[in-house]
């Protein structure tokens, strides 16, 4: 259903994305230390099962298991970016049915010059490889550039998406509790910069739970007329033993989503710690029917 995303841009209705992939994969007996994106090839049935659980819970859009599917992160796995990305898209498309598929694009994990070793052109090329692999399939509806904290890196990813596909682009940033990115940029600056780069929607995800994210969402709503996507964590992460856990339950999570909906936000999903139960709770709190 490529292009279906444009059908929701002009509708005054809610759109529900999915929740965390990593949280779900922790429930399976998988090889430790393996990049989760490799599972698109080695355990495709597991990835498809996760997608289907989110669809059943009520997601309208699911994101591919490609958050770290770039060359620098796949080096040494024996698999190419093209193989991993195209397998991920095939899995997501099978699971999505009539729903939409978003190519998930995450940060490189590296700093760009002058703070780091990678040049803007090198980062652009990493994302261009990912985008081109996705565009060749013809089975993606949009690009979700998410969990970014560096505007320069986001610009490279957005430009790659615009140069090598005709897909709509959403870009979501992660902020600290005081409303600034790790690079020190404030919310209004981030939103204005993303608008200038021509994204179709903006948003905030990760790092914070829905309560801590509320003031950020309020500022974002007052800063743009673009659609806003909000995907909080299931609370603030806590390390217990060797596991990261989250302390917000689906019902509490959904109550904050209601507050954000009252502010005018229409697009919601979940990030770290969230599961299909969180998606179901969102749907119920907003009075939506399941798929």
- Residue 216's domain is classified under what CATH number? 3.20.20.330
The response to whether 272 counts as a known ligand-binding position is yes
- Can you tell me the distance from the alpha carbon of 70 to that of 232, in angstroms, rounded to the nearest whole number? 24
pTM above the 0.85 mark? yes
The domain in which residue 212 lies consists of 6-285
**36 found inside a domain:** yes
- Give domain status of residue 233, yes or no: yes
> What pLDDT, in 10s, does the model give residues 227-267?
999 999 999 888 888 778 899 999 999 999 999 999 999 99
- Interval 98-138: pLDDT, tens: 999 999 999 999 999 998 999 999 999 999 999 999 999 99
Number of domains in the chain: 1
List Cβ neighbours of 184 (8 Å cut-off, separation of 6 or more).
none
Does residue 177 lie in a domain region? yes
Would 77 be classed as within a structural domain? Answer: yes
Label the pairing between strands 15-16 and 267-268: parallel
- The reply to whether 291 falls in a domain is no
Would you state the structure tokens that stand for residue 178, as one six-digit string? 């005081």
Average model confidence (pLDDT) across the chain: 93
In a domain, 238, yes or no: yes
**Could you write out the DSSP letters of every residue in 101-168?**
EEEEE---SSPBTTTSSB-HHHHHHHHHHHHHHHHHHT---EEEEEEE--HHHHHHHHHHHHHH----
Report how far residue 55's alpha carbon sits from residue 69's, in angstroms, rounded to the nearest whole number: 23
């Amino acid at each position: 259903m490529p292009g279906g995303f444009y059908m929701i841009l002009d509708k005054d209705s809610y759109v529900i994305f999915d929740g965390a992939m990593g949280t779900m994969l922790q429930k399976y007996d998988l090889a430790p230390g393996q990049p989760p994106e490799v599972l698109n090839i080695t355990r495709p049935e597991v990835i498809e099962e996760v997608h289907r659980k989110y669809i059943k819970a009520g997601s309208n859009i699911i994101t591919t298991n490609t958050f770290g599917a770039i060359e620098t992160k796949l080096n040494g796995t024996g698999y190419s970016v093209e193989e991993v990305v195209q397998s991920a898209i095939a899995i997501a498309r099978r699971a999505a049915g009539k729903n939409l598929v978003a190519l998930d694009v995450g940060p490189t994990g590296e700093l760009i010059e002058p703070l780091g070793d990678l040049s803007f052109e090198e980062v652009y090329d990493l994302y261009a490889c990912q985008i081109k692999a996705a565009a060749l399939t013809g089975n993606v509806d949009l690009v979700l550039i998410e969990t970014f904290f560096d505007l320069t890196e986001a610009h490279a990813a957005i430009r790659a998406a615009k140069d090598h596909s005709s897909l709509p682009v959403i870009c979501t940033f992660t902020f600290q509790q005081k409303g600034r990115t790790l690079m020190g940029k404030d919310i209004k600056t981030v939103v204005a910069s993303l608008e200038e780069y021509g994204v179709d929607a903006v948003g905030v995800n990760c790092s914070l739970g829905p309560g801590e994210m509320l003031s950020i969402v309020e500022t974002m709503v007052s800063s743009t007329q673009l659609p806003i996507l909000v995907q909080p964590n299931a609370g603030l992460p806590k390390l217990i033993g060797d596991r990261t856990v989250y302390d917000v339950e689906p019902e509490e999570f959904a109550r904050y989503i209601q507050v954000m909906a009252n502010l005018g936000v229409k697009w919601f999903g979940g990030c770290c710690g969230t599961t299909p139960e969180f998606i179901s709770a969102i749907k119920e709190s907003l009075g939506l029917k399941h798929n």
